[in-house]
Amino acid sequence: MRALSGIQPTGPFHWGNYFGAIQQYIALQDECDDGSFYFIANLHALTTVREKERLQQYTLDGAIDLLALGLDPNKATLFVQSDVPEVSELCWLLLTGTPMGLLERCVSYKDKLAKGIKADAGLFTYPVLQAADILAYDATVVPVGEDQLQHIEVCRDLAQSFNHHFGETFVLPKGKVLDQSARVPGTDGEKMSKSYNNTLAVFDDVKAQRKQIMRIQTDSRPMEEPKDPAGDVLFDLLKLVASEATLAEWEATYRGGGFGYGDVKKALAEAAETYWGPARERRAEWAAKPGEVREILAAGAVKARQRAGETLCRAQAACGLKGW
Ligand code: ATP
Ligand code: MG
């Protein structure tokens, strides 16, 4: 088993990123017998972040965040996407065999359009670059949140059709989501997303995090009314960070009624502080040594380029770009 996944430096990482994806990266770095590859997807981010300094900052911050959360460069390969130009070449090979309709059906593109985010060809073809990212490393498993499953299907389609046309070249990957946190809700109840301004950032300071939690939208049912915790945004978030005992208490309180959402928010803020405390301390340590972080990323890129280069050669030979 070999794992591969990427995360965009489009803003501070949030609870959805951690519980949907990063938590899996960390588990898989121990479980994969054939290595794991994780990258900061700055080429993808370029479709969103159009300010040089901000993109640079988010890229380094993203690596620091992953290290603080437990990614171990001695076990996993951590690198920056644009340090592996082979992937962009592979992307072109795949683009030439990508039906427009396949991309037009992609939900995440349609969602962003519906939210008024302007689309360019980069955003439209994003799933193809993502396919190249995955196929370049012969990954067998791709740990992601639910929103990415469709893109992994696109990747499989593209790999299958290339293999069918030019002979066995690519390994077909499978997506992997965690049932309990495949789609973490944001402060507005929609999917928590860096680009939707509805996030709880993992590394916000305590005060900022409290403020964000207080912003979470709740319904206006009377306090006395018993409530079903299932599907309640606050309870869903509490499930991620609270201890079992706290959670059981709140479950009973919901069912009994006679509480205010403000109390749940306070409990959520407290649970969050305890939960993220140790990672916050580790983050401060990594942030104090950016040189070391850059070295880790550079060493990761060397390993990643070697793998991606082998796959690119194989694909180029298969489709007639070599051997003429
Ligand atoms: P953007 O809004 O820029 O697309 P994002 O918040 O969706 O940012 P990505 O960098 O696109 O984050 O995604 C990184 C990983 O986090 C992906 O595997 C994605 O599926 C996962 N992820 C993102 N949001 C959530 C969420 N709310 N719940 C679970 N997983 C999520
Ligand atoms: Mg996203």
* Residue 184 Cβ < 6 Å to ligand 1: yes
Q: Is residue 199 part of a domain?
A: no
* Residue 174 CA: distances (Å) to CA of 20, 34, 37, 170: 16, 15, 15, 13
Cα(17)–Cα(14) distance, integer angstroms: 5
Q: Is residue 195 included in any domain, yes or no?
A: no
* Same domain assignment for residues 269 and 299: no
**Amino acid identity of 196?**
Y
Q: Report pLDDT for 273.
A: 97
Query: Are residue 76 and residue 98 in the same domain, yes or no?
Result: yes
Find out whether the beta carbon of 112 lies less than 6 Å from any atom of ligand 1. Answer: no
Q: Give me the mean pLDDT over the 261-270 stretch.
A: 96
Looking at the fold, whether 222 and 239 belong to one and the same domain comes out as yes
User: Tell me, what's the pLDDT at 72?
Assistant: 98
Domain with 294 in it:
3-184+289-319
Q: Give yes or no: residues 67 and 127 share one domain.
A: yes
- Indicate whether 100 belongs to any domain: yes
Annotated catalytic residue, options 194, 227, 239, 265 = 194
pLDDT at 317 over 90: yes
pLDDT of amino acid 137: 98
| pLDDT of 175 | 98
The answer to the question of residue 260 being in a domain is yes
Distance (Å) of CA 266 to CA 181, 253, 270: 22, 14, 6
Backbone conformation region of residue 138, classed left if phi is above 0, alpha if psi is from -120 to 50, else beta: left
Domain count, the chain: 2
C-alpha–C-alpha distance, residues 239 and 241, integer Å: 6
The contacts of residue 262 (CB under 8 Å, 6+ apart) are none
75 and 219 in a common domain:
no
If asked whether residues 166 and 307 sit together in one domain, one would say yes
Digit-coded pLDDT (tens) for 50-67: 999 999 999 999 999 999
Which pLDDT belongs to residue 119? 85
Q: Are residues 180 and 279 in the same domain?
A: no
- How does residue 108 score in pLDDT terms, banded at 50, 70 and 90? confident
| Model confidence pLDDT, tens digit, residues 16-54 | 999 999 999 999 999 999 999 999 999 999 999 999 999
Instruction: Return the ligand number nearest the Cα of 20.
Output: 1
One domain, residues 159 and 121: yes
Which residue's alpha carbon is at the smallest distance from atom 18 of ligand 1?
144
- pLDDT score for 118: 85
253 and 302: one domain?
A: no
Quick check: is 322 catalytic? no
| Binding site membership of 48 for ligand 1 (Cβ less than 6 Å) | yes
| Whether 207 is catalytic | no
Instruction: Tell me: do 53 and 151 sit in the same domain.
Output: yes
Judgement on whether residues 95 and 208 belong to the same structural domain of the protein: no
Report the CATH number that the domain containing residue 58 is assigned in CATH: 3.40.50.620
Residue 197 lies in a domain: no
Q: Is residue 198 part of a domain?
A: no
Same domain, 211 and 264: yes
Q: Residue 147 domain-assigned?
A: yes
* pLDDT exceeds cutoff 90 at 139: yes
**249: domain CATH number?**
1.10.240.10
Structural domain contains residue 171: yes
Asked if residue 250 has pLDDT above 90, the reply is yes
